[in-house]
Amino acid sequence: MASVLFEDVVVDIPIFDASSRSLKNNVLAAATGGQIRPREGRGKVSIRAIDRMSLQFDHGERIGLIGHNGAGKSTILRVISGIYEPTGGRVSVEGDVAAMFDIGFGMDPEATGWENITLRGMLLGYSRREIERRAPQIAAETGLGEFLDMPLRTYSAGMATRLAFAVSTSIRPEILLIDEGIGAGDAAFIEQAQQRLRTFIGEAGLLVMASHSNSLLREWCRTGLWLEHGRIRMRGAISEVISAYEAHVAASA
């Protein structure tokens, strides 16, 4: 069964090696929302993206991550996916993970649509034999027809997104991670692919989604996690958490 467990997890992200001046630190803190911390050695600075966080996500949950830029939403997703190693604490992830951070990652502009189906599929964990078996169905779902015989560089942005989306949503993950803010145009395309995405998300054992679109979070998620400066400020029903966050933002304006 899919599950995620954080126990006192800390993630420090190094920023640069330079003189640590207070003005520079203040600017960075304002821009990232994280906590500026000096590191060992002169001029070494890091952002504490997650600060002693403990949480548990279980099979069947639909989690929406809420918070300002730099609150820790994308960092949580990257720790779950294994992209980031925690600086401290313990992380346990049970189940196969599929991360939709940039659905076009790994695609070659000089390769044809067919070749990119294979390339992207293998990056998602398919064997060559398996992705070649699935390729005709994926191709049909793109709606690109004979354009699949042409190089990706000849595609419009919308055509390339349709190709990447069809490959990415062909998997059946136990844990699905979506970061809607990463790929340019993703939010607009999601609006055009509601039914496909609804089926894809519905088949995942566990969904964790970060988004600045409260309407998307209300539609796809049942539980909200409000993050602030790398810590959990509130967890509860998605509508209640969004309402509390919106009231906080309005009061701070």
Residue 17 CB: number of other CB atoms within 10 A? 12
**pTM, whole model, 2 decimals?**
0.79
- Reduced to 3 states (helix: H, G, I; strand: E, B; else coil), residue 173 is coil
State how far the Cα of 157 lies from the Cα of 136, in Å rounded to an integer: 22
Spatial strand order of the sheet with 44-58 comes to: 35-38, 44-58, 3-17, 88-94
Domain 3-96+209-252: CATH superfamily is P-loop containing nucleotide triphosphate hydrolases (3.40.50.300)
Q: Break the chain into its structural domains and give their ranges.
A: 3-96+209-252
Tokens representing 173 are: 């993950």
Residue 57 β-bridge partners: 4
pLDDT in tens, the chain (253 residues): 899 999 999 999 887 654 545 545 554 455 455 555 665 555 568 889 999 999 999 999 999 999 999 899 999 999 999 999 999 999 999 998 888 887 777 889 999 999 999 998 888 878 899 999 999 999 998 889 999 999 999 999 889 988 988 898 888 889 999 987 444 445 555 666 777 778 888 899 999 999 888 988 998 999 999 999 999 999 999 999 999 999 999 998 7
Tokens representing 123 are: 């990056």
Using alpha carbons, list the distances in angstroms from residue 88 to 11, 12, 13, 29, 139: 7, 9, 12, 21, 44
Query: Taking a C-beta distance cutoff of 8 angstroms, is the pair 209, 239 a contact?
Result: no
